[in-house]
C-alpha cells in the first residue's frame, strides 16, 4: 500500500461552522470510517473544498490516523498521477473515498454540486 503524505489543503478551515451541520458531523463520526483523500495543493477545486471537509472531519472527532492524504499531480495529457490513483480509478480531484473495514462505502468526486462533507454524510446515512 502506498504511504500517505500530507495535503496542505487538508488544514481545517477555522471559519467552518459545525453547529450549522449537526447531521453531517454525526454521520461522519458514526462509524470507524477511513477517509482517503486525493487532491493537489495546486488545484483550485481542492483549495476551495478540502479545508471545509477537513474542518468537518475535525468537528466529527475523526483521528488523523483514519485520514489518508494522497497528493496528485497532473500529467501533460491531463490525467492524474499519484499514489493509488490507478487502484482507485481517480480521474478528478478532489476525490474522497470512505471505507469501513477495508470496503468502500461512499465516494465523493469533484463534480458533485454539494460540499464534500454534506455529500458523504448523505451517502453514509442511506
Q: For residue range 3-43, what is the model confidence (pLDDT) as tens digits?
A: 457 899 999 999 999 999 999 999 999 999 999 999 999 99
Alpha-carbon distance of 32 to 63, in angstroms, equals 10
Homologous superfamily assigned to 21-125? Glutaredoxin (3.40.30.10)
Placement of cell 472527532 in the chain: 61
* Three-class DSSP category at 95: strand
Q: pTM of the predicted model, to two decimals?
A: 0.93
103's CB contacts (< 8 A; 6+ apart) are none
For residue 117, what are the CA distances in angstroms to 2, 33, 35, 49, 107?
25, 13, 11, 9, 11
Per-domain residue ranges of the chain = 21-125
8 Å CB contact between 64 and 55:
no
pLDDT by residue (tens digit) across 36-95? 999 999 999 999 999 999 999 999 999 999 999 999 999 999 889 999 999 999 999 999
Amino acid at each position: 500500500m502506498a504511504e500517505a503524505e500530507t495535503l496542505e489543503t487538508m488544514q481545517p478551515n477555522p471559519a467552518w461552522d459545525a453547529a450549522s451541520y449537526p447531521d453531517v458531523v454525526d454521520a461522519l463520526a458514526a462509524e470507524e470510517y477511513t477517509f482517503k483523500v486525493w487532491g493537489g495543493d495546486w488545484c483550485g477545486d481542492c483549495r476551495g473544498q478540502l479545508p471545509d471537509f477537513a474542518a468537518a472531519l475535525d468537528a466529527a472527532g475523526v483521528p488523523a490516523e483514519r485520514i489518508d492524504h494522497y497528493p496528485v499531480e497532473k500529467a501533460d495529457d491531463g490525467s492524474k498521477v499519484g499514489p493509488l490513483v490507478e487502484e482507485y480509478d481517480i480521474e478528478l480531484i478532489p476525490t474522497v473515498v470512505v471505507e469501513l473495514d477495508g470496503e468502500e462505502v461512499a465516494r465523493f468526486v469533484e463534480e458533485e454540486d454539494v460540499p464534500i462533507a454534506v455529500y458523504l454524510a448523505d451517502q453514509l446515512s442511506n
